[in-house]
Structure 1
Amino acid sequence: MTTQAKPDDRAERSFPKPEFTDAEAGALEFPSSDSRSFNYFTPRRMRATTYEDVTYDVQPDPERYLTQGWIYGFAKGPGGYPLDWTSLRSSDWHRFRDPNGEWEQTIYRNNANVVRQIQQNLADAKLAEAYAAWPPAWVRFVERNLGAWMHAEHGLGMHVFMAAQRSAPTNMINNAIAVNTMHKLRFAQDLALYNLDLSESGIGFDGSVHREVWQEDPVWQSVRRNVELLTTVEDWAEALFATGIVYESLVGELFRSQLVMQIAARNGDYVTPSLVGTGEQDHVRDLSYTRELFLLLVRDEQHGARNREVLGEWLDRWIPVSLRAARDLQPIWSQPQEKAISFTDSLTAARDGLRSLLADLDLTEPKELSQ
């Protein structure tokens, strides 16, 4: 017969005692320990937006949080994102917010909407046999000039904006430039697919001549030179300024808005403006963040005067290049059968747009712009 142990006969049980080492969560006290805002940054408005929550400070910075310097670096250079990758200076690079509020969801959503719109327009054009009504002169204009423009858009996206988006010192700036990159590459792809559609439309469209035009046609060589020179700029802010402010105002808007969008409908083409219009809308959004960034830099309390001086030097360097590119495009204004605007009026509108933009940025208008 088995006997049960009495309660008093059981061995005494022991439990480990907690030892506090100040390594446990919540042990360290810091300036915002008692804060209930759950944010490590100050939102622009009363509450942080989703854009700020998922973008702000994703890229770390030793000046803010990393106490031991950058967590990675280059073999023969400084770590992380050196501030001397641009000649411009800021008392706080983290002040920049993209006015478009672009983050991952908006990038996919907006570009998907654009692609669906273009695909639907092209499908409708095929069903309606819209291209059959194009005058031969307009067919030649589109195959040569819109095809050449595809190279400009792709070159800027792949070799200017893509390079610049790696070099800026904060994730907020890099993110905005990365979206600019995707806009350029998507628009170039849209033009390439459009070129293929027109090649198969039965209107005698030569879908291969664009390469010859871009490489050899004298009308396009100054634009090509402008784009290729922009790809060689090492200063990320100069590349952004020379492209987004100068080139886009004097060459981009001149071709897209002041020419194609003005005369396409008069030549029986209601398809091309719907495509080129998406590129113009991209530019409007991209110009919004570009203007916001340089406005912060020229009005910086500590470095504003110096930044305006540097930007003035960049204007003197790049305005003559883009003005020459714009002027050399003049012959294509006479190629379409129906014309709605003269080259002189188009160039004047482009220059006035740049003048207005420079005035907004508190920059002095260079004398080259009025010559």
Structure 2
Amino acid sequence: MVEIASKTIEPVRNTFQHLMDRFGDKPATRYQEGTYNIQAMENFHYRPLWDPKHEIYDPDFSAVKLTDPYNYADPRQYYYATYVENRARHHESFGQDLKYIEERNLFARLPQNWQGLVTRLVLPLRHYESGGQLVFINANRLAWGTSISQPCGLASMDRVGNAQSLSMVGLAMGGGAPDKLAEAKQCWQEQPSLQEVRRLVEEALIEEDWVSGVLAYELTDAQLYPLLFQHLDDRALFRGAMAYSLMAQHFSRWHIDNQKWITALLKAWVADPQYGEENRKALGAMVDRWYPQSQEAVRLLAKDIEHNFGSTSIVSAATRYASELATTLEKIGIPLTAPGGVRS
């Protein structure tokens, strides 16, 4: 009888040398192996024809810098495998709820004002998400340090997923026909309450500093998502709009997850030992640029929703979310400009 024995083969090295230099001679996590010290640093054979002032990879694509970009790490520890696994579960859960809604014809049972809300104001935001895809893939291309460019790239793919999810909702509401999506596109182009959001997207797309484009979306997300997918979700639960509530929870959950890496990055920029003060000033100028515009964009949406529902709580909720955002920024170290134009 042949005895089968196992034999343990000890690895010659625990991990790559650059990870040992940073973390010590011990096994590295998959996140560390797929993130740290991967940024291309040399052998740049030409400068980009569209911006010959910079190298093809250059930390000076933004005024906001880190002494060592790898001092920042995505608190979610997302690299390709963990990201795909997480988002696959998210998409599967969304698909199951959408199937439930369709099987029970819940979109048709939405009260008329809720159907109008989804068609006129929520579905058009798939164009907002598509704009976000371009803003964040630009950040992925220009950011310095894989620990920063990686979550930017993943956020870009998230935006594609959000746009597709909204498109799936539109198709489900139209019984598989694209009529609702065509109507939503027309609303995006012509609906007065959406034009400030649309203008913000178009201006963010042409920002030279990639951090400024990211902040334009971050400041808008922080007001728009809680308003549409938390405050209105609470109302939907008690007003016969179950289909909206089932849909909203997925977008709310994504936003909470997405906030984690951006908030951590803002803190890292402000706390940097070498560039912290310069970063705070640069970020402050960007926030002063985008905060009033994002606040006005969300306020116009809130006014439209309030008129549609005959309610008096929507605009006040938008104001509260804007105030909470200002408080969060101040705690991070990026206070808004005080009245009169003087930074506090």
Q: Give the number of equivalent residue pairs.
A: 323
Q: Deviations over 1:82-107 (max 9, x none)?
A: 11100113211221111111111122
Partner of 1:315: 287
Q: Does 1:60 align with 2:28?
A: no
Q: CA 1:194–1:345 in 2, change beyond 3 Å: closer, same or farther?
A: same
Shift of 1:316: 1.5
Contact 1:131 1:201 in 2 (8 A): no
Q: Among residues 122, 125, 131, which one is paired with 1:155 in the alignment? A: 131
Shift of 1:54: 1.7
Q: CA 1:353–1:189 in 2, change beyond 3 Å: closer, same or farther?
A: same
Partner-residue secondary structure (3-state), 2:220: helix
Q: CA 1:228–1:74 in 2, change beyond 3 Å: closer, same or farther?
A: closer
Partner of 1:146: 122
Q: Does 1:254 align with 2:227?
A: yes
Partner of 1:6: none
CA distance in 2, matches of 1:47, 1:36: 5
Contact 1:138 1:267 in 2 (8 A): no
Instruction: State the AA in 2 paired with 1:309.
Output: K
Larger radius of gyration: 1
CA distance in 2, matches of 1:44, 1:360: 34
Q: CA 1:196–1:258 in 2, change beyond 3 Å: closer, same or farther?
A: same
Q: CA 1:227–1:38 in 2, change beyond 3 Å: closer, same or farther?
A: closer
Q: CA 1:98–1:368 in 2, change beyond 3 Å: closer, same or farther?
A: farther
Contact 1:316 1:366 in 2 (8 A): yes
Q: CA 1:368–1:354 in 2, change beyond 3 Å: closer, same or farther?
A: farther
Partner of 1:233: 207
Q: Deviations over 1:113-146 (max 9, x none)?
A: 1121111112222222323432222222211111
Q: Deviations over 1:123-179 (max 9, x none)?
A: 22222232343222222221111111222112212x211111110011111110111
Instruction: State the AA in 2 paired with 1:49.
Output: T
Shift of 1:43: 3.7
Shift of 1:277: 2.2
Shift of 1:208: 2.6
Contact 1:134 1:267 in 2 (8 A): no
Contact 1:86 1:236 in 2 (8 A): yes
Q: CA 1:335–1:298 in 2, change beyond 3 Å: closer, same or farther?
A: same
Contact 2:76 2:260 in 1 (8 A): yes
Q: Give 1 or 2: higher helix fraction.
A: 2
Pairwise mapping of residues 201-350 of structure 1 onto structure 2 (< 5 A)? 206-244=180-218, 246-259=219-232, 261-329=233-301, 330-336=303-309, 342-350=313-321
Q: Does 1:83 align with 2:55?
A: no
What's the % identity of the aligned pairs? 24
Instruction: State the AA in 2 paired with 1:264.
Output: A
Q: Deviations over 1:10-64 (max 9, x none)?
A: xxxxxxxxxxxxxxxxxxxxxxxx99664413249985321111222233324xx
CA distance in 1, matches of 2:244, 2:26: 43
CA distance in 2, matches of 1:235, 1:44: 35
Partner-residue secondary structure (3-state), 2:56: coil
Q: Among residues 130, 147, 150, which one is paired with 1:172 in the alignment? A: 147
Shift of 1:207: 4.4
Q: 5+ unaligned residues in a row in structure 1: which ranges? A: 1-33, 63-68
Q: CA 1:336–1:101 in 2, change beyond 3 Å: closer, same or farther?
A: same
Please, what TM-score do these two structures have when normalized by structure 1? 0.79
CA distance in 1, matches of 2:24, 2:288: 35
Q: Among residues 300, 308, 322, which one is paired with 1:351 in the alignment? A: 322
CA distance in 1, matches of 2:25, 2:280: 28
Shift of 1:236: 1.2
Partner-residue secondary structure (3-state), 2:34: helix
CA distance in 2, matches of 1:164, 1:226: 17
CA distance in 1, matches of 2:97, 2:25: 39
Q: CA 1:36–1:155 in 2, change beyond 3 Å: closer, same or farther?
A: closer
CA distance in 2, matches of 1:223, 1:45: 50
Shift of 1:317: 1.0
CA distance in 2, matches of 1:47, 1:287: 30
CA distance in 1, matches of 2:106, 2:24: 48
- Range that drifts further, 353-362 or 184-193: 353-362
Q: CA 1:264–1:233 in 2, change beyond 3 Å: closer, same or farther?
A: same
Shift of 1:192: 0.3
